[in-house]
Amino acid sequence: MALVRSDLTNSILTLTIDRPKANAFNLALIAELQTAFKQAAKDSQTRVILLTGADRVFGAGQAIEEILAGGETLSYLEHLRQTYNPLVLQIRQIEKPVIAAINGPCAGASLGIALACDLRFAADTARFVVGFNGIGLAPDSGVSLLLPTLIGLGRALEFTFSNQPIGAEKALEWGLVNRVYLLEDLHKETTAFAAELSKGPVSAYGLSKRLYNKAVLPNLEQVLEYEGQIQEIAGKTQEHKEGVTAFIEKRTPKFK
């Protein structure tokens, strides 16, 4: 069964992440997203891309069970090089508008994917959690660059350290999202906006993305690689082992 549902209607490609439960990312889901963006880049019929989650969750980040399955030999650096790093670069480099319709909780690597999109429209039920420090890791998936770029370094550090959620209205106030709608209106409003964009000069949109990437995110690729190197260190700490164990046992971690 496909983990990413794809629908092309009136030049708008809607990609819906659909992996029970909580749309957590695993290798298969990431591979499907990478393939979908690769195909979309080549498809002249696709003029705007809309990325969302099934049900009432955008995404819970990396699936913990896959981390556990990797065991002691898991390399976070190699994992990121194969998965989130190329996906983030695909979203930033595709020369078509990409809109995230954030229909609920959005955490960890899922936050990084949402931040990589050009625009973010959120439901009033959306909540944004950095997440990584909660299991003894450092931010990856572009979060270390994209989050402070959007909301400022101080706020980014506060919500990285505290692991507290950022609500939809606060996210709008800070520039983390572009618009907020009632959950029941999110798909309709986002699709309507995408429809207007699809009538515009898509080639000029792509050239504009190139300019903004160069002006604001010129070191994105280097930051993604450095995130992987840092995560390789974090992944070998006792804090990370305790964080994952506490997550599985559904208790508060006891970091020492």
Residue 141, phi then psi, degrees to nearest 5: 60, 30
Query: Residue 171 falls within a domain, yes or no?
Result: yes
Is residue 75 one of the residues assigned to a domain? Answer: yes
* Residue 117, domain member (yes or no): yes
The 3-class secondary structure across 135-191, one letter per residue, is HCCCCCCCHHHHHHHHHCHHHHHHHHHHCCCEEHHHHHHHCCCCEEECHHHHHHHHH
Per-residue confidence (pLDDT) for residue 42, from 0 to 100: 97
Q: In tens digits, what is the pLDDT along the chain, a chain of 256 residues? A: 799 999 999 999 999 999 998 999 999 999 999 999 999 999 999 999 999 999 999 999 999 888 888 777 889 999 999 999 999 999 999 999 999 999 999 999 999 999 999 999 999 999 999 999 999 999 999 999 999 999 999 999 999 999 999 999 999 999 999 999 999 999 999 999 999 999 999 999 999 999 999 999 999 999 999 999 999 999 999 999 999 999 989 999 999 8
Domain contains 210: no
Q: Is residue 219 part of a domain?
A: no
Long-range contacts of 220-224 (CB under 8 A, 24+ apart): 220/88, 220/89, 220/92, 220/142, 220/145, 221/85, 221/89, 223/142, 223/144, 223/145, 224/80, 224/84, 224/85, 224/88, 224/89, 224/140, 224/142
User: How many domains are there within the chain?
Assistant: 1
What counts of helices (H) and strands (E) characterise the chain?
12, 9
Domain that holds residue 77: 4-183
Q: For residue 18, which amino acid is it?
A: D
- What CATH number corresponds to the domain at position 54? 3.90.226.10
